[in-house]
Amino acid sequence: MNAGIDYGSGVTNIDTKTGIRYGVISQHSVMSEAMEDFEYEYPFNCPDCGSETLVKSRSQRYDYFCQHCRTWHMSEDCYGDDSIGFHYEGEGYLLEDCLDTNIMVIKSDYYTFAVFCSPCVPGAGDLDTPSEDGVKTYCLGPDWFDSYTPCPYPIYKVEDDSLI
C-alpha cells in the first residue's frame, strides 16, 4: 500500500464520524504569522517544590496555598516561563500541539490525501508528505500559507469534496 503502515490499526487519530484521519504538519510548513493565533499553555505549580497541589487562597495577601510544602504564593509566581503546549479552536478548526514542533489538525473544513505518519503519531496523516494514494486527512486551508511557505498539498472541502 502506498499510504504506508497504519500503526493506529484504524482506531487511533481518526474522526470516527467522518472516517477522516487527523493531520500532522510541522509549524515550519505554515506561515509564521499563523502561529500568533494559537493559545499557549503554561505550567501552573508551586515555585518552591513544583507540586501541582495549589488551592485558591482566601487570604487578601496571597492567591494560592501549596498543600504539599505548605507555602503561600502569588499567582504570577506559579506560572512557568516556558510553554508546555498550544491549541487553537475557531473557524472550523480544532488544532493542538503534537511532538513539540508540530500541529495536529483534529477538525477542519478541509482535507487532503497523505501518507500515514510514523509510529510516533499512529493512524494520523503526514501533511508534509502528501500523496494521491494516501489516506483522507484533515488539513489546514489555504489561508495558513503564503508565497514563502506554499501549501504542500491539494485542498478539498469536507462538505462537498470539491477541490479548491
Residues 6+ apart with CB under 8 A from 1: 133
Which helix (H) or strand (E) covers residue 77, if one does? helix 75-78
Given a contact cutoff of 8 angstroms between Cβ atoms, the answer to whether 6 and 126 are in contact is no
**Measured between alpha carbons, how far is 148 from 92 in angstroms, rounded to an integer?**
25
Kindly indicate the confidence band of residue 83, based on its pLDDT and cuts at 50, 70 and 90. Answer: confident
pLDDT digits (tens, 9 = 90+) for 133-153: 999 999 999 999 999 999 999
pTM above 0.85, yes or no: no
